[in-house]
Amino acid sequence: MKNSHLPLMLLWWAFILILSMDLSGAQACHFFYFVQQWPGSVCDTRQSCCYPTPGKPSANFGVHGLWPNYNDGVYPSNCDPHSPLDLSKISDLLGRMQSEWPMLACPSSSGRQFWQHEWEKHGTCSESVLDQRRYFLTALDLKREVNLLGTLQAAGIQPDGGFYRFSSISNAIKAATGHTSGIQCNIGEDKNSQLYQVYLCLDSSANSFIDCPILPRSSCNSDRVAFLAF
């Protein structure tokens, strides 16, 4: 190849590069993680927990968050400092938020700080897909649609402090959703591996469940996973 072609080729590659860049400045995410957590396992750690001001949440999975992600596992965060949580946009959802997206950190509060953290860190990175109201509503509706606790109970997996095989939990969720979930365990006060968080994946418009392009690392014991009472 003649050297005289080099500037032309460089120009061509620069042109292709510019075309492939998102000129709006916000990189569209590839998929979403929808993450739910078991409150019994959030609370059964050395750090413990505090119930939110309305009182102890019901014994059900709670939403942790809806997180835009890239296929390589990297994720954007805190994308828009000019978009604070605005409770007036979700005033009609607050009852559901308190029961289905409960804050369990101390000191006790209504949950505002937790929702604000999730919105600012994750929600602001998918604003082009889900505005603030749709972000929270989508997560609440997904939780209802999945009904994780009902799914596990139907498979005989009860939050009764008993132990279950990791594969039984994973298979029950796959049978109900059609997709492999990411399952995380934490270690409780009695040093057991316990069911902590469940990740499901959604397409880039947060419309349909998909197979996760990348699963979070599971730290669960394969033979003995405790499903704590709450």
Q: Which residues are part of the catalytic machinery?
A: 64, 118, 122
What track of x and - describes contact with ligand AMP for positions 11 through 40 (by CB under 6 A)? --------------------------x---
Of 110 and 168, nearer to ligand AMP (C-beta) is 110
Q: Which is nearer to ligand AMP, 118 or 173 (CB)?
A: 118
Nearer to ligand AMP, 28 or 105 (CB): 105
Query: How crowded is residue 226: how many other Cβ atoms within 10 Å of its Cβ?
Result: 24
User: CB of residue 168 vs ligand AMP: minimum separation in angstroms?
Assistant: 25
Total residues at the site for ligand AMP (CB under 6 A)? Answer: 12
Helices (H), the chain: 6-20, 39-43, 94-100, 112-121, 132-146, 148-154, 166-177
Using CB under 6 A, pick the residue from 103, 142, 146, 149 that binds ligand AMP.
Answer: 103
Scan for tokens 């120009």, then name that residue: 11
Shortest distance, position 101 Cβ to ligand AMP, whole Å: 8
Beta pairing, strands 209-210 & 31-37: unpaired
Tell me whether the omega of the peptide bond preceding residue 107 falls within 30 degrees of 0, making it cis: yes
x-or-dash string of contact with ligand AMP, 105-134, rule CB under 6 A:
x--------x---x--xx------------
Which residue, among 169, 152, 161, 213, has the nearest Cα to 188 in the 3D structure?
161
Supply the minimum distance, in Å, between the C-beta of residue 3 and ligand AMP.
51
Our finding on whether 100 is near ligand AMP (CB under 6 A) is no
Binding residue for ligand AMP, selected from 32, 64, 66, 96, defined by CB under 6 A? 64
Angle at 226 between CA 104 and CA 138, to 5 degrees: 45
Task: Provide the minimum distance between the beta carbon of 53 and ligand AMP in the complex, in angstroms, as a whole number.
Answer: 13
Number of Cβ within a 10 Å radius of residue 157: 20
Q: Is 124 exposed, middle or buried (0-12, 13-18, 19+ CB in 10 A)?
A: buried
3-state secondary structure of 60: coil
Q: How far is the CB of 229 from ligand AMP (least distance, A)?
A: 18
Place of tokens 């938020």: 97
Selected binder of ligand AMP within 104, 201, 202, 220 (CB under 6 A): 104
Residues making contact with ligand AMP (CB under 6 A): 37, 42, 62, 64-65, 103-105, 114, 118, 121-122
